[in-house]
Structure 1
Amino acid sequence: MFFGQTINDTRQLFYTSWHKHLKQHPLSALEKNIVEVIRLHPEFQPLFDTTNQDTTAYTPDSKDNPFLHLGLHLAIREQVATDRPQGIKAIYGALVRTHDALATEHLMMHCLAQMLWQAQQANMPPDEQTYLSLLRALL
């Protein structure tokens, strides 16, 4: 979910991708994905329209961290595209039959965030089986 050595590197990739999009410059595949998730969230676009990078130190309790939110979208898309963990593509397919794609990603993002938080609290690596169980509970 991180695309650089530091949080600022990751944030800069979001800014650079959005500005390249606005200037109609060619985009890499990753930049295209970043632009797509920003486009799906007009409430975040003003943040990226500026040239001043957001340096807010968001806390884990922050409900309004746009970088985390967009990063979770990207993570879900990558997981579905690669079917990793195995079975996530089928779960996504089942969910998207009853929800639109954006709502499906949001549902799945809650599960991903919960699993990551639990792993962090336990000082353990993320558990794919726990994650898949959370996702299956959405069906």
Structure 2
Amino acid sequence: MFAEQDRGQTREVFFRAWRAHREEQPLEGVEKLIVQVVLRHPEYHALLEHPEPARERDYFPESGQTNPFLHLGMHIAIEEQLSIDQPRGIRGYYQKILMRLPDEHAAQHHMMECLGEMLWQASRQATAPQESVYLDCLQRLLGSPSKV
């Protein structure tokens, strides 16, 4: 979705979409999906309403910080994957996860673990993300009742 944009441009799309929503302006393209995802994350509303501190901020997972833009972006990626069933079979995994969890949001959070693993491995190995890594992780997740 945001592959060709730099960090600042990507964040600006989030700020613009949330501002348009708050001002009851029409949403365009991906802005509708962004707002839908942000509405499920009230913990990020203030950040998006006051963008200056977050515009250039770095978030360090090793310090226990969650990057809100990465988190929201992963939700958006999963929504897009589910809408077109890409990688092939992702909807089936999602439906199986949903049978074990209370809601769609919780199911996506579990899927994010696998999406993150795929992206981390690709970054570490300097390769393109491998769908097989993602799908294998989802399969392992479903095979372990204690995880889902």
Change in CA separation of 1:66 and 1:5 when aligned onto 2, cut-off 3 Å: same
Match of 1:56 in 2: 57
Match of 1:86 in 2: 88
- Offset at 1:79? 0.8
* Paired letter, 1:38: V
Dislocated runs of 4+, deviation >6 Å: none
- In the alignment, structure 1 segments of 5+ residues that lack a partner are none
Deviations 1:6-34 (A, max 9, x none): 11000000000000000111112411110
Match of 1:120 in 2: 123
What TM-score do the two structures reach when normalised by structure 1? 0.92
Match of 1:42 in 2: 42
Answer 1 or 2: higher relative contact order, Cα 8 Å, separation at least 6: 1
Deviations 1:68-117 (A, max 9, x none): 00000001111111111101011111111222100000000110011110
- Is 1:95 matched up with 2:97? yes
- In the alignment, structure 2 segments of 5+ residues that lack a partner are 143-148
Using the alignment, how far apart are the partners of 1:43 and 1:133 within structure 2?
A: 31
Identity rate, percent: 41
Structure holding more helix per residue: 2
What TM-score do the two structures reach when normalised by structure 2? 0.86
Contact 1:12–1:53 (8 Å) recurs in 2: no
Contact 1:4–1:10 (8 Å) recurs in 2: no
Instruction: Report how many aligned residue pairs link the two structures.
Output: 139
Contact 1:11–1:53 (8 Å) recurs in 2: no
Change in CA separation of 1:26 and 1:138 when aligned onto 2, cut-off 3 Å: same
